[in-house]
Amino acid sequence: MGRKGPRWLRDAVFYQIYPQSFYDSNGDGIGDIEGIIRKLDYIESLGANALWINPCFVSPFGDAGYDVSDYYKVDPRYGTNADLRRLFREAHAKGIRVCLDLVPGHTSTEHPWFKAACAAKRNKYSDWYVWTDSVWSWGGGMPTINGYSQRDGNYITNFFWFQPALNYGFAKRDPRRPWKLPVGHPAAMAVRREMRNVMRFWLDMGADGFRVDMAFSLIKEDPGHRETKKLWRGMRRMFDREYPEAILISEWSHASKAIPAGFHVDFMVQFGRSGYTSLFRKELGRCQNPPAGGDSFFSPNGKGNIREFMDIYLEEYRRTKRLGYISIPSGNHDVARLSVGKGMRDLELAFAFVMTMPGTPFIYYGDEIGMRYMKNLPSKEGGYYRTGARTPMQWTRGRNAGFSSARSADLYLPVDKRPGRPAVESQEKSSGSLLNKVRSLVALRHRTPALGADGDFLPLFAQARKYPLVYLRKSAGGKVLVAINPSARPAAATFSAKGLKLPGETLASKGKVLIRPKGSKAKIEMGGVSYGIFAV
Ligand code: NOJ
Ligand code: CA
């Protein structure tokens, strides 16, 4: 194990599974753990060698399982702990790692700890959540639910009203609000210990790590996240000591904070800064949090601006590349599908990008076949606009898209019934399908050291409002040049080509891509919607 964590991470390609929508093995209309086990061959065939499974623990499912009511038990709708143990075993037999989703910041209001905390009489759990000291004392800027129980106080929420914040303490004391307990308070320390136990429980059973929900949110009023970072550094020490093969992935979207805080991988996602959104999802308007507008770089209209991504990415990459990895996912359960506003060709380009960037790529289930976003579906389990990106995986052209044998009215969510909906079955048969293109790109990444997580990254042509995008990946094993033109119009660029063997050997391409060396420079000419990956 190096400073950047276990070796396997250097070549990891993750597949994210939203378990309720992946594959229903027993015909009750909802995906399950056994369903994931039955589809391991498919996951292997994609070249993915790691999984992230959204929360699968006991929950009333007000927020699709991000409202946990028992951290130590698989929800019966997905199966049993024994099923999950079997998934670990069978995945490992194929060389596939399995990461779970840890929600350390809040529980469900149905969690027994919270129910105990609601009692008027003080007990062991009274300070496990953040409560004000009277129902007449409000949260001082933090969202509270007021008058919920017999207890004379209001609780702080982290997300929806039924997700009370667990108490990890406040970094700053506030003499006017003594209910803001310090980080070292015995109750806050007990919560921390309990979360360690939760992690140990699943790691001992065979899990390979966790994606950590809202990792930045644990300690309240924590300027610069100083105390929150200390907390995670402590967790990382536990991993390094006790589970050196396991990893921590943060939902933080600020790698220069998350990675030095101990996370092995941080997602670059839609939070706050627009870097990630500007690649694929600017057109989405309100189907997004925060709402966006404008043109994405990967839209065929060719009006995007790669600097919106690159300026943030390069800064974060520079500050973290020796310590850990940034992940640019194809999507996730919180954003509209990658396919919005794009055709299959455009999607292939998006994957050419995702699979040739440094760090740890994540494929959101169904993106590899171009599953569509189902706009305006009634909200399911707190999904709201997110619901349309959570519909059942489309395996076949048959009934319920092969997801389940249940009556279609009993499905967790409706399957996409629109004509031309993509399916694994039909794409298997065509070498030019998105599925098979994604497979080739993943395979190319695995066999090309420069394309791995650690290969250096150097933009060669990445100018504001200009196409194409050209960059170099480099490792001791060689150099790879990647050129992508998502615009439907042809594009050309001149870039510095010192030390490159041009035009090089083509590793993958689509459309016209012509490279002409000119002294220490090179000129590239590209057709509309084209890309090329070259060993140089
Ligand atoms: C982030 C998760 O990805 C999202 O789905 C969830 O609703 C919130 N955190 C609250 O846990
Ligand atoms: Ca089922």
Residue 154's CATH number:
3.90.400.10
Using the atom order of ligand 1, give the atom closest to the CA of residue 66: 11
Q: What is the CATH number of the domain that holds 528?
A: 2.60.40.1180
| Tally of domains within the chain | 3
Pair (380, 518) in one structural domain: no
63 CB less than 6 Å from ligand 1? Answer: yes
**Assigned domain for 469 exists:** yes
Mutate to test the pocket of ligand 1, among 63, 67, 103 (most ligand atoms within 8 A of CB): 63
Pair (133, 263) in one structural domain: no
Pair (89, 117) in one structural domain: no
214 CB less than 6 Å from ligand 1? Answer: yes
**Protein residue with least CA distance to atom 2, ligand 1:** 213
Q: What is the distance in A from the centroid of ligand 1 to the CA of 456?
A: 32
Pair (470, 498) in one structural domain: yes
Q: With beta carbons less than 8 A apart as the criterion, state whether 415 and 30 touch.
A: no
Q: What is the distance in A from the centroid of ligand 1 to the CA of 62?
A: 11
C-alpha angle with apex 71: 12 to 28, nearest 5 degrees? 80
- The residue from 411, 445, 479 where one domain ends is 445
Residue corresponding to tokens 């753990």: 33
HSE of 359, CA atoms in CB hemisphere, 13 A: 28
**Assigned domain for 1 exists:** no
213 CB less than 6 Å from ligand 1? Answer: yes
* Whether residue 468 has a cis bond before it, omega within 30° of 0: yes
**Assigned domain for 269 exists:** yes
168 CB neighbour count, 10 Å cutoff: 26
Pair (263, 286) in one structural domain: yes
101 CB less than 6 Å from ligand 1? Answer: no
Residue corresponding to tokens 């997300």: 159
Q: With beta carbons less than 8 A apart as the criterion, state whether 302 and 284 touch.
A: no
Q: Which ligand is nearest to the CA of 75?
A: 2
Pair (410, 529) in one structural domain: no
Using the atom order of ligand 1, give the atom closest to the CA of residue 67: 11
**Assigned domain for 179 exists:** no
**Protein residue with least CA distance to atom 1, ligand 1:** 213
Pair (152, 60) in one structural domain: no
Report which of 384, 499, 280 is spatially closest to residue 63, judged by C-alpha positions: 384
Report field, pTM of the whole predicted structure over 0.85? yes
**pLDDT score of 477:** 86
**Assigned domain for 451 exists:** no
Q: What is the distance in A from the centroid of ligand 1 to the CA of 26?
A: 27
**Assigned domain for 172 exists:** no
Pair (215, 149) in one structural domain: no
Q: What is the CATH number of the domain that holds 399?
A: 3.20.20.80
Pair (136, 74) in one structural domain: no
252 CB less than 6 Å from ligand 1? Answer: no
C-alpha angle with apex 131: 133 to 186, nearest 5 degrees? 100
Pair (293, 373) in one structural domain: yes
Domain that holds residue 524: 456-535
**pLDDT score of 288:** 66
**Amino acid code (one letter) for 233:** R
- The residue from 445, 464, 497 where one domain ends is 445
Report the C-alpha gap between 112 and 15 in whole angstroms: 33
103 CB less than 6 Å from ligand 1? Answer: yes
Helices in 143-293 by DSSP H: which ranges?
Answer: 186-205, 226-242, 255-258, 277-280
**pLDDT score of 289:** 67
Report the C-alpha gap between 17 and 480 in whole angstroms: 31
Tens of pLDDT, residue by residue, the chain (536 residues): 568 999 999 999 999 999 999 999 999 999 999 999 999 999 999 999 999 999 999 999 999 999 999 999 999 999 999 999 999 999 999 999 999 999 999 999 999 999 999 999 999 999 999 999 999 999 889 999 999 999 999 999 999 999 999 999 999 999 999 999 999 999 999 999 999 999 999 999 999 999 999 999 999 999 999 999 999 999 999 999 999 999 999 999 999 999 999 999 999 998 888 899 999 999 886 666 666 788 999 999 999 999 999 999 999 999 999 999 999 999 999 999 999 999 999 999 999 999 999 999 999 999 999 999 999 999 999 999 999 999 999 999 999 999 999 999 999 999 999 999 999 999 999 999 999 999 999 999 999 999 999 999 999 999 999 999 999 999 998 999 999 999 999 999 999 999 999 999 999 999 999 999 999 999 999 999 999 999 99
Give the CA distances from residue 328 to residues 309, 311, 314, 351, 387, in Å, rounded to whole numbers and listed in that order.
11, 15, 13, 11, 21
Where does residue 102 fall: left (phi above 0), alpha (psi -120 to 50 degrees), or beta otherwise? beta
β 513-518/521-526 pair status: antiparallel
67 CB less than 6 Å from ligand 1? Answer: no
165 CB less than 6 Å from ligand 1? Answer: no
Pair (365, 403) in one structural domain: yes
**Assigned domain for 268 exists:** yes
- The residue from 445, 466, 483 where one domain ends is 445
* Nearest-10 crossing angle of helices 186-205, 81-93: 60
**pLDDT score of 1:** 56
Whole-number CA gyration radius for the chain: 24
Find the helix or strand (DSSP H, E) in which 215 lies: none
**Assigned domain for 450 exists:** no
Contacts of residue 318, Cβ cutoff 8 Å, sequence gap at least 6: none
Q: What is the distance in A from the centroid of ligand 1 to the CA of 340?
A: 21
Pair (148, 63) in one structural domain: no
Q: With beta carbons less than 8 A apart as the criterion, state whether 469 and 484 touch.
A: yes
